[in-house]
Structure 1
Amino acid sequence: MQRLVAADAKGRSRGVLHAVPTAVRAYGVAPNLAADDAQYVLGWADEDRKPERVAQCHAAFVELTRRWAESPQGRDDPVAQAVSTFLRSGAAVEMRRPGECTAKSGVLIAVAGVPAYRAASVPDFWSHEVARRKGAGNGLCLACGRVGPLLDTVPGKVPSRLVPGATNDTALVSVNERVFGYDLVTQLSASPVCIRCGEAVTTGLIRVLGSTNSSSFGGQDSRLAWWTTQDTPFDAMALLHRPSGPDVAALLGSVHTARQQAATELGKARFCSVTLGGNVARIMVRDWVEMPLEQLQRHVAEWFADQRMVSTRPDGAEFHSIGQFALIAGRWITDGKRGRYADFGAKGANRPADVHRDLVRAALRKTPVPPSLLAHLVHRVRTDGHLDDARAALIRLILTRSPLTTEKPMPGLDPSNTNPAYVAGRAFAVLDQIQYSASEERRNTTYGDRFFAGAISNPRAALVTGRRDAAAWLRKLRRTKTGAAIRHEKELDGLFALLDPARDVPARTTLTEQSLFLLGYHHQRAHGFAAARAARDTVTETPEETNQ
């Protein structure tokens, strides 16, 4: 089936969409039934089209309609008889042609106001017609394992709108030259599929790709579709795409009893997903997943456990969706006092085209995230000067799953972590907070603004400078906020006691050290904000509130 829609002279769609009978038409003259291009239905040609070719197309369309009317299916169908009589009379060619109509404009035949393709005889006749065109004799079907009529080519195409990267409607299998096929054979000789399976696989794929059980983002190279073999109470993909704190917490709490729950709740259900991309008129299967739903439940639970991250905001989320992770891999755009991430597919977004696919694979299969994504993400943080909860969570996720990481980072502040890069990130955050607290008014450029990007790759220079300037900041802070000054100084002294900036802090950091620096920086900021909120709440408490 294909979607037929009227179009104007500029190719813009207008009118009503129709799903009409069609078969793959790579080359040659091959009419469709009851609806097709104007050159087929009405014999109308354009200046750049050969009249002889258009005449052949129209004659083939008329002949197809005649066979439909004379077939056992259409012999007693008044619609088939009416369409055949009309076309054989030649009245179609004599119709007045609208000025905006081209040879490729879609034309739909209707009888008494009802589209002819809806006639009762159409499905059966068209099935036999497709079998006649696409048939390649009898044989064993690789899909269903039965002996029956085989296809020469796949009868349908997947619309390009459903396949990122495809510029034309795509065929699942297309081997029209010997050099492309296994053992130098063409068409479906090396992958025999019966007519029923060939029609079903294309129809089923179109349905699932166009359903709510699919996801794709602009600028990404693939589309994900998924389903389960039976209805189940656990919706893994809904949780991955729209996580909520209570739902994730419930999943993490039940993961240890998943085996006991499987028999009663998950049963024998299996989860399946396919990730597809396109190239011109070809489909590429980038990933295929099939596993018991019980196993997927454990993988999803570990995905959220590995990404859990403390928030700098009191109402911030601890868990983030796959879509959010894909978004934050793009460029951060500062717009006045607020900022945002570049939209999917936007020019200059600098977002890897395979980031969504890599994240989905890691979540479903419980595999490491490609280290190239970590390198890209750290580069974006350094370039953008922006690190938020989601970016910190993705960094922790990648480090946690990396086989090169010996100590898995914690979701929140880890005082026992004495890694110099992690401690340096914490110290940098404290220095930034001291200067901010000591400033009577907001400065245009802060310590963090000046040194953050450089400190990621060379923390030594930033910490030496910050330690020297901190004395003046603390003196100023003691005049107005004695308690905050004491707390900051004690915290700073404790961190610098763990390292010697001239010896322990590297002047050049590896990718892993840069990531740990950013985690230490984020953890310390979140801890500092929480401490400041607690101190503020303590000061504003009334005696009555204290006694309660």
Structure 2
Amino acid sequence: MSMLAALAQAYDRLPDAPPFGYSAEKIGFCVVLNADGSVADVVDLRDTDKKRSAKIVMVPQAKKRTVGIDPNVLWDKTAYVLGVTGGTGKRTAEEHARFRDQHLEWLAGSDDEGLTALARFLESWTPDRFVAPLWPEEMRDQNVVFRLVSGFEFLHERPAAKALWARIAAEGASEPQICLLTGASGPVARLHPSIKGVWGAQSSGASLVSFNLDAFTSYNHEQGDNAPVSEAAAFAYTTALNRFLSDPKHRLQIGDASTVFWADCADMDTAAEAEDIFAAMFGRDTTNDDGVNTAKVREQLVQIREGRRLAEIMPKLDEGVRFFVLGLAPNAARLSVRFWWEGSFGTLAANYQRFIDDTALDPAPRTGWPPLWRYLIELAVQGKRENVPPLIAGEWMRAILSGTRYPLTLLSATLMRIRADGEVNALRAAILKSVLIRNLSWEVPVALDSANTNRGYVLGRLFAVYEEVQRAALGGSVNATIKDKFYGAASASPQKVFRTLDSGAQNHFSKLRKLSPGRAVNLEKLIGSITELMDPGADPIPATLSSAEQALFGIGYYHQRSDFFRKHDDKSPEVTE
């Protein structure tokens, strides 16, 4: 199933989906009219909280405006409806004139009391009447609707208004064609509705499908005729996508990709359960939520991470749920698809378990293994989400979902961040390990492997021991450790550094033998056992290490350094974190 077809199908399963031709918009104020068109009151529809959020109201579908002037039907922002704005308003007079003239044309001959009142209001209204206290200043640039003083429904909800909107929508319909999404015949959407809520895209919305250059025109087909999608199907897929983007239960942020997901299942409760588990897998933190439902999701996620088959713990989700994941990122005035995946939830869970196996490491982070976004933070400059490399996030997510190879840029980006700040933590080591296993099929140890002879791993361990010798001899008085000074060079060009490190370690040993003779002997024996693993037939300290060997250098360093912070039965307690 194509991405757009899946979204159009998801529209049919939305519990409170707007009917065709309508959209949910933020409405700030309602102008209450008397039957003669005079204003009886102006009602603030916004919430009373600090944010003063506008009310979501179902209105005739918003027009897609770029540079042109095109009024919405029976509602709009104050620049169109009243001719007032909070900005410079270079086109405000023209916008209001278009709204007034267009509506007077549409409403001519109507015998509905509400529509007649609106026509009388527009005939008599002038922007200079927008003065307090009836017209509040905070009303400027808010969306406005109307209602009669004698009724409780908005004007656009009256039967006559709905009939008017249906007639207006039908006037601009094109010749029917076969829709690429549904296979049914219907008028083709010339312009597809805008998608709102994608992080980094225009707040007014951006296009997922558009044709607006001569290069996109073929066989005299213009705009939407190049790929005929019916107006009903275009409305369905954009409505579903906008709903998912605005709903935290269906949305995650993976790097720069605004990620939406949904399940297709006959049982809505089962579908919701699958969506909750997916959110916990990749983004939603469940550690601080004590809700009953969240506790259940947390328990299920633990069992999945432990490697139990989904068919054993949640048989309903294994084969009976079809799952969809879509990642969107901004691209000028359009949206680009970072990744798109569909398949059974059982396949998704199996691929996620493979990702967990790839990143398994001992010791694990103190707070447990986190969701994917926390890994991505380790690749960002200054640890800021906005600095996550954009393409890596989408490519890595796609590889995890589909069970394919990880992007090699993931390896180089992690090594670059380690060289930049010298931090080798559990998450970064796990990323390095996962790429070596998934892409190169290397056998990488989960915990400290004292018999591993890979030269990158051995040198990483040796570097950690040299650092421990310095720490043991000098304590916390060192301003910059050998890791701060030499890690980047030691992992890439070890021959230039390790002889210097060995010379410095001998100086530190002379002091350590006086402070703690037993500790000095143990560290000397450890250095000896590590150097014995080096290849005697070649230079034990190579001139350079490949990227894969640099990754093993980091893993070996992490394993050995972590071992120093553990308590062992055969030693006196060491420093613990």
User: TM-score band (shorter)?
Assistant: 0.7 to 0.9
1:424 aligns with 2:459: yes
Deviations 1:100-154 (A, max 9, x none): 6999664433433957356243555434433433x11222222222223433332
CA distance in 2 between partners of 1:30 and 1:129 (Å): 13
Instruction: Work out whether 1:91 is the aligned partner of 2:93.
Output: no
SS in 1 for 2:460: helix
Map Cα deviations across residues 37-85 of structure 1 (whole Å, 9 max, x no partner): 3343235697733856653342113323x16x83xxxx55x43343233
Partners of 2:498 and 2:390 lie apart in 1 by 37
Amino acid at match of 1:330: A
- TM-score, normalisation: structure 1: 0.81
- Does the C-alpha gap of structure 1 residues 281 and 129 become closer, same or farther in structure 2, counting only changes over 3 Å? farther
Asked whether the equivalents of residues 168 and 280 of structure 1 are also in contact (C-alpha less than 8 Å), the reply is no
Counterpart check, 1:411 vs 2:450: no
**Partner SS for 2:424:** coil
User: How many residues are treated as equivalent by the alignment?
Assistant: 502
CA distance in 1, matches of 2:540, 2:163: 79
> How far apart, in 2, do the equivalents of 1:486 and 1:50 lie?
84
Identity across the alignment (%): 25
Establish whether residue 510 from structure 1 lines up as the match of residue 555 from structure 2: no
Are 2:263 and 1:210 equivalent residues in the alignment?
A: no
1:396 to 433, 442, 450: 433
CA contact (8 A) 1:139 1:148 kept: yes
The alignment status of 1:191 with 2:227, answered yes or no, reads yes
* 1:137 maps to which of 172, 175, 180: 175
Supply the distance in 1 between the matched residues of 2:155 and 2:469 (Cα, whole angstroms).
Answer: 75
Is 1:119 the counterpart of 2:157? The answer is yes
Q: Matches of 2:329 and 2:425 in 1, distance apart?
A: 31
Higher mean C-alpha deviation, range 111-120 or range 480-489: 111-120
Q: Secondary structure at the match of 2:442?
A: coil
2:71 counterpart of 1:31: yes
Q: After the TM superposition, which residues 149-168 of structure 1 pair with which residues of structure 2 at under 5 Å, given as runs?
A: 149-154=187-192, 156-159=193-196, 161-166=197-202, 168=204
Aligned runs of 1:27-426 on 2, under 5 Å? 28-43=68-83, 48-49=90-91, 54-64=96-106, 66=107, 70=110, 78-87=113-122, 90-93=123-126, 96-98=129-131, 106-112=143-149, 116=154, 119-121=157-159, 122-123=161-162, 125-133=164-172, 135-154=173-192, 156-159=193-196, 161-166=197-202, 168-212=204-248, 213-216=250-253, 220-230=255-265, 231-232=270-271, 233-234=273-274, 235-241=277-283, 242=285, 249-255=302-308, 257-258=309-310, 264-311=316-363, 315-317=366-368, 319-332=369-382, 341=383, 343-345=384-386, 349=387, 351-402=388-439, 405-426=440-461
| CA 427–249 in structure 1, closer or farther in 2 if over 3 Å, else same | farther
Aligned-residue offset at 1:185: 1.6
CA distance in 2, matches of 1:524, 1:288: 40
Q: Is the 8 A contact 2:326 2:339 kept in 1?
A: yes
Q: Distance in 2 between matches of 1:362 and 1:372?
A: 13
Please list every run of 5 or more consecutive structure 1 residues that lacks an aligned counterpart in the other structure. Answer: 7-12, 333-340, 540-548
Relative to structure 1, is the Cα distance of residues 174 and 43 closer, same or farther in structure 2, using a 3 angstrom cutoff? same
Map 1:441-520 to 2 at 5 A. Answer: 441-499=476-534, 503-520=539-556
Deviation at 1:426, TM superposition (A): 0.4
Inter-CA distance 3–407: structure 2 relative to 1 (3 Å threshold): same
Deviation at 1:276, TM superposition (A): 1.2
- The Cα offsets for residues 8-65 of structure 1, whole Å up to 9 and x where unpaired, read as xxxxx9773444432223454432122213343235697733856653342113323x
Structure-2-length-normalised TM-score: 0.77
Residue 437 of structure 1 deviates from its aligned partner by 1.3
**Structure 1 stretch 381-390 or stretch 418-427: which is displaced more?**
381-390
Alpha-carbon distance between aligned partners in 2 of 1:274 and 1:473, rounded to the nearest angstrom: 55
